[in-house]
Amino acid sequence: MREATILLIDDDSTLLELLAGHLRTAGYSPLVAADGRSGLRLAVEALPDLVVLDVMMPGMDGWEVCQELRQVSGVPIIMLTAKGEEIDKLHGFHLGVDDYVTKPFSFAELAARVGAVLARGGVSERAPAHITRSDLAIDFDQHRVMAQGSAVDLTPTEYHLLETLARTPGRSVPSEHLLRQVWGPEYAGEISHVKHFIWSLRKKIEADPGNPRHILTERGFGYRLE
């Protein structure tokens, strides 16, 4: 099986070297970039399986790299940040970030997050082949989503979350189940991940995200795809 290619973008050369070594040991193929601009170029040219991106970089920071990368690629992105505030996570999730690791962190934590994010692109329990509900159409064979007559560009995490809900359309799914299925058991207790990505999905597929018709909240329990 081909080794997954992980692109590391960080202006800290010591950290880059350390992380690249650990990733090789873990069976990945690392690429490194020491600034945002070259990292963005390498991401487009090399087509990595996942990008680990630092937020605080001179010149082109991680937010800008993420925003530009999302215009051309759905590659999973893990942000490295010294900021743990909720508003920063909300901003990142809005831009299409798949996960966060807050500095300082252990390599074991980063490796677990890398493995979990990569696993979301794998084959999971079979969803219905097609779902059509008024202005929403999902083709799971083609991984294609249409809303209000236009194609919707979803990140791997957003797509996996939608697919998980679609396995049981019309039935409520507990937030804890969504967390385990989409993010993995190592994310136990991080229910805010589900909330943020449900919000992100609604922004993309609902005509009125503040009054959703497709992804409904079961308060105190979870969500359902209506």
Q: What is the pLDDT of residues 211-221, one digit of tens each?
A: 999 999 988 88
Asked if the model's pLDDT at residue 37 lies above 70, the reply is yes
Task: Give the end of a domain, one of 90, 119, 148.
Answer: 119
User: Do residue 79 and residue 15 come from a single domain?
Assistant: yes
Higher pLDDT, 73 or 216: 216
Task: Give the end of a domain, one of 79, 95, 119.
Answer: 119
Q: Which residue type is seen at 186?
A: E
**Per-residue b/e over 17-29, b at no fewer than 16 CB within 10 Å?**
eebbeebeebebe
Q: pLDDT band for position 203 (50/70/90)?
A: very high
Asked if the model's pLDDT at residue 25 lies above 50, the reply is yes
Is residue 125 situated within a structural domain?
no
Higher pLDDT, 1 or 166: 166
Query: pTM of this prediction?
Result: 0.61
**Cβ atoms of 52 and 103 closer than 8 Å:** no
Structural domain boundaries, residue 143: 130-225
User: Do residue 85 and residue 137 come from a single domain?
Assistant: no
Is residue 39 situated within a structural domain?
yes
Task: Give the end of a domain, one of 70, 97, 119.
Answer: 119
Number of domains in the chain: 2
Q: Tokens at residue 78, please?
A: 């893990």
Q: Tokens at residue 141, please?
A: 């064979």
Is residue 17 situated within a structural domain?
yes
User: Averaged over 64-87, what is the pLDDT?
Assistant: 82
What does the pLDDT look like over 119-171, one tens digit per residue? 775 434 444 567 777 788 888 777 889 988 899 988 888 888 988 888 777 77
What is d(CA 73, CA 178) in angstroms, rounded to the nearest whole number? Answer: 25
Grouping H, G, I as helix, E, B as strand and the rest as coil, residue 108 is helix
Sign of the C-alpha dihedral, residues 59, 62, 68, 69?
positive
CA 217 to chain centre: 21
